[in-house]
Structures are given as C-alpha cells and as structure tokens.
Chains A and B, each alone.
Chain A
Amino acid sequence: MHPALSVIFFTTLSGAGYGLLALLGAGLALDLWPRETASLLWPLGLGALLTSTGLLASMAHLGQPLRAWRAFSQWRSSWLSREGVCAVTSYLPMAAIALLALRQDAQLPWPAAARLAGAALLAAALLTVFCTARIYSSLRTIPAWHNAWVAPGYLLFAAYSGGLWLWLLAALHQVGAPLPWDRLGLAPGPLMGLVGAALLVTALKLAYWRRIDGPAAVADIGSATGLGRYGTVSAFEKPHTEYNYINREMGFVLARKHAARLRAFALVCGLGLPLLGVLAAIRLPDYSPSFAALALLSGSLGIFVERWLFFAEARHVVNLYYGARRV
C-alpha cells in the first residue's frame, strides 16, 4: 500500500498523544498522579496538541476536507467513523480535567469527579487508538493487516510512545531534585513499565513480521480471474500502459525490497536506543532530561519507520489482476 505521509503522521502523532492521555487518565483514575496544576496541565496540553495535530494531518489526506464533519455519521458500520466519534468525545474529559486542575484545592482530596474524568479519558484514548487499528485490521483485502496482531500493536505502541513523552516531561520537571531517583523523572515503577512496554512491543512486532512473511495467502491469480482451473495464469497484457490510481495506491513495492534493513532500523531506533537511554539515565541521573529527549527522538523516528513499513509492506489482493501470483 502507498504509505501516505499524512496518514503516517496521523497514526504516530495521535498514537503518542492518546498514549500520553491514557497514562494521565489511568494515573488520575487510580489517584497516583501528582496534584500540582503544572503536573496535570503539561501532559494534558501536550496530549491535546499531539492528537489535534494528528487529526489535522489526517484531514490533509482527504480530497474534500471541508466535508469532514460528515465522517461522524456512520459509526454503526464504519471504524473510521467510530474513530472520529471517539476522538472528538475524548475532548470532553480533557476539558473536565483541565477545569479541575485549574480550580482544585490542594488541601482537599480529589473529588470523585476527577477520578471519573480520568477513567473517561483513559477509555476514550484507548478506544480511539483501537478504532484506528480496526480501520486497517478490518480490511479483508489486505492480509498483512487483517490479523489479530494489529490492534494490540497499535495500542502498545501508543502506550510506549506516550510513555516516552511522559518521561521527558517528568525528567524536565524534576531537574535538580534532591534525590537521584527523583532526578530520573519517573519513579522506578513507571520507568520499568516503559522498559517492559518496549520489550513487549518488540516481541509483538517480531511476531507480526513472522506472520506477514508466512506463506498464508488469501487468494491467487487463478481464483481472482477464475481461470486457474485451466492451468497457470499469468498477466499477458495490462489494461493500460501507465500507472493508474490502483497501481499507485496499492502497488507499492519499494519497502518489500528493503524490508530487512528497515525493520532492523525500526527496532534499533524505536526500541533499542530508548532502552539504552533509560539505562544511561539510571547511571547518570543528572542528565536524565537529555537522555529522555534522545530516547524520545530516536523512539519517534523508529516508530515512524515502523508505521511506514506497516503501510508500505502490506499487499492488496487487487495486485492479483496486475500479475501478482498470490496475495
């Protein structure tokens, strides 16, 4: 599939944003989040910024962006529509938490409303990412997407990249804290959560690649044309001499040619280097903001390549009509 930059930016940016918001929501719901207004508003604002930028990037993909409001109407059948509804709904708990953060009285315990808003934010963020993943994994025409690895992959990548942002925010916030552990930004628990997420994401991605490299095919040129019963079918002449929309959108081959290298790059950059960053910060807590920034940078780049591969490596069954033997 043609890897449209707007869609890759959308899924990676909004993934990170919803991941960050989900972590905030979970922290609030469990009453584990620090109470200072800044600790609340920074992740909230950043999450809102990332998700909104992602949504705007996805609008750039549309042929008629001014009609985008129509996309909220078909939630009964369309995952794309459901995603839009969830994305817009998630602004409600965001606004509620912002209000609570500004008006809270630090002497009093959190009102139940804050924990409720946190839970709502967590749910809305996870649902939005889940819907994004289902847009792809529901397509029977693209075997690399139509499998059970896709949705968990999107959710875990969102949590992991949100975690990288959170680490940077926390490390900046804690510069000059008296205890070295505090200077790391995240308490040992969340930090190990980040490490765990990275390892899980790696395992998941490796399993996903194993799966899409497997021999399982949904159809072949014989069944696509119905001529397989007579012998070996091959494309003799194409209907047109130049690429048409179908070839441009669904006939992308560059990535499969360089798949092995790009996959290695995605793993090393996206997951390996950030893990090293965590280890380095534990050794040298005074530099943790720099390590967190580097981890975020390298992680984002790796995830960008991973997402690019997700699109570019996937083959669409329509290629059977243009000579592919099995898809």
Chain B
Amino acid sequence: MTMLPAPARRKLGLVIDLDTCVGCHACAVACKEWNDGGQFGPLPDEDAYGAEPLGVWFNRIHSYEVQPEVTPDSQGNGPLQQLYKTGFVENAPAMTVHFPRSCLHCEKPDCVTVCPTGASYKRAEDGIVLVDEEKCIGCKLCSWACPYGAREYSEKRGVMQKCTLCVDRIYNESFAPAERQPACVMACPTRARHFGDLGDADSAVSKLVAEREGYALMPELGYAPVNRYLPPRPRRNGCGDKAAAADHTETLDRDQLPPLLRWVDKLLSR
C-alpha cells in the first residue's frame, strides 16, 4: 500500500558523524556484502571487471571540499568562524568532509506515494521504507521522486532496490543483541555511524543529535528525513595566538616532548 501510514512513534534511522567519518567506504562495502546475500539481495553488478562497471549500492560515500567564506562580522559559530576568530583565516585551508549518503527513511517520502503498484512502502511500526521486489514493476518513478538518490534500479533484476536499514539484521533473533545493528554501523572503524530510534527523545541517538546539533538534509523539499548528520567539530589548528600567527614564529609545546628533548629545550632556552 503506497498511502503513507499514520506517523509512527518509532522512527528508526541512522545518525552519521561527519566529524569522524574518514571516507574509507567500509560501510558501503559491508552494506553491499550483507545485502547481496541478505533477504533483499542479490545486488548484482553488470560488467563488474569490465570497462564500465555498473551495480546497485545502497550507500555511497562522497567527499566535499568546503572553502571558508567568513567575513569579520560573521555571526556564526561553526568551525571556520572559529578559525577566523583565531586569526588564522588569512591562510585558512579548505576543509574536506567525507559524506556517506543512503536512504534517510523520510517521514513524508514521495518515493512511496508515487509508486503505482504498492511495492514501495513505509512500515507503520518503525518507519522503515522498503521495496517489495515481488510487486515492483520497475517503472523507476520512485527513484525520480527521491531527492537523495537513495534508490538504484537493478537492470539485471528489473526491480528497484534501496537501503533496508538492515531490517533482516536488526530484528534477527539468531544474532547476539549487540549485533542487531545495520551492517554499515557494525563495520565503521571510526564509529561515525549510529543506529537507533529517533522518535524517542531519550534514545542515545536522539541525545547525540541534540548535543551535537545534528541536522537533516535538504529540509526545504519537505520530505522530513529521519536520518541526521552531525556537523564537523571545530578543527584544532595549532595556532591559537593571533600575534604568533602573524609573525610566523612556530610555537612549541614543551610538554609534548619526550623527557630527554624536554631537558634539551629547557637547557637551550636559558
């Protein structure tokens, strides 16, 4: 049924920390591996080792460059505004942000309502958006309706495929409770990915979002995504002193040195 269910209290989703993501693609690979063999697989590739490989992935890792644009009267308090306040902005380097992108399990997703067959649906009990591949006719309309590029069509299977939030893991009682998490969350080496109930204000993920000012992507489109992204933290730049930055003298933190060098530094500084 492609009518949206009444808004659920449980909103399962992901919280992705752009501060700690190192862009290693481990989550994407783990996702591909699990889902290729999981309940919603396979995720076939075409021409996998040829000139133009093409295949379905539920998770894609972009990298963006952010060139600071901070003016002296800037009101913001983001990392680059803070850089400005340290006087470092004249030489401020661009910031690189790694950015995993997958289905955001939106609360008002047109990808569901446009589907003519009822194959695309949102679960009433936890808000997960799924495709029933037995019903999908492969018209691709849902992928047009998704602003976030979360749906990829499988030419080989003739149906639409997308992130399932590992619904075949998170409720899987044959797994130890600690493993009832999406494969991407389990795989991330920097723990940049968190899974939980964003409809519950007391859940660990909701607290994390509140504490780190997590945000939704492209809210102006009105899809009300459930997933949240945690912004990069202010960068430690090692040049807190404006005067020191200006005359380019290097600062040395003696406490960081090994004991022998610390002694040498003390000796020579007399």
Contacts and interface: CB of A to CB of B under 8 A. Distances in A.
Is chain B a partner of chain A in the same complex?
yes
Interface in B143-159: 143-149, 152-155, 157-159
A250 to B, nearest CB: 7
Contacts of A243: 52, 54
Interface string B154-182: 11011100000000000000000000000
Contacts of B138: 62-64
Given A223-B218, A223-B220, A230-B80, A63 B2 contact: no
B153 A245 contact: yes
A62 B69 contact: no
B222 A140 contact: yes
A317 B221 contact: yes
A74 B61 CA distance: 34
Contacts of B119: 70
A102 interface: no
Nearest to B97: A227
Contacts of B146: 141, 318
Given A76-B3, A138-B114, A242 B57 contact: no
The listed residue with most B CB atoms (<10 A of its CB), out of A72, A230, A321, A322, is: A230
A178 interface: no
Nearest to A136: B144
Contacts of A322: 62
Contacts of A30: none
B217 to A, nearest CB: 6
A74 B113 CA distance: 8
B147 A318 contact: yes
A65 interface: yes
A225 interface: yes
Nearest to B111: A141
Given A225-B64, A230-B66, A318-B148, A67 B135 contact: yes
Interface in B110-159: 110, 112-119, 135-141, 143-149, 152-155, 157-159
B153 A63 contact: yes
Interface in B219-246: 219-222, 229, 231-232
Contacts of A224: 217-218
Interface string A54-66: 0000000111110
A80 B69 contact: no
Given A63-B136, A219-B220, A246 B95 contact: no
A317 B147 CA distance: 6
Given A231-B69, A244-B54, 11 more contacts: A74-B1, A84-B116, A135-B114, A135-B141, A219-B220, A231-B68, A233-B64, A235-B63, A236-B96, A237-B62, A245-B152
Interface of B: 1-4, 18, 23, 25, 28, 52-57, 60-70, 76, 78-80, 94-97, 99, 101, 110, 112-119, 135-141, 143-149, 152-155, 157-159, 215-222, 229, 231-232
The listed residue with most A CB atoms (<10 A of its CB), out of B63, B68, B97, B117, is: B117
A237 B61 CA distance: 9
B66 A63 contact: no
A81 interface: yes
A141 B58 CA distance: 20
Nearest to B144: A139
A285 B55 CA distance: 59
A80 B219 CA distance: 26
B110 A230 contact: no
B72 to A, nearest CB: 15
Contacts of A62: 137-139, 158
A228 to B, nearest CB: 9
B2 A225 contact: no
B64 A140 contact: no
The listed residue with most A CB atoms (<10 A of its CB), out of B3, B101, B139, B146, is: B139
Contacts of A80: 114-116, 139, 141
Given A231-B67, A249-B140, A140 B147 contact: yes
Contacts of A135: 114, 141
Contacts of A235: 62-65
Contact of A229 (B63, B76, B110, B221): B76
A226 interface: yes
Interface string A224-262: 111101111111111110111110111000000000000
A71 interface: yes
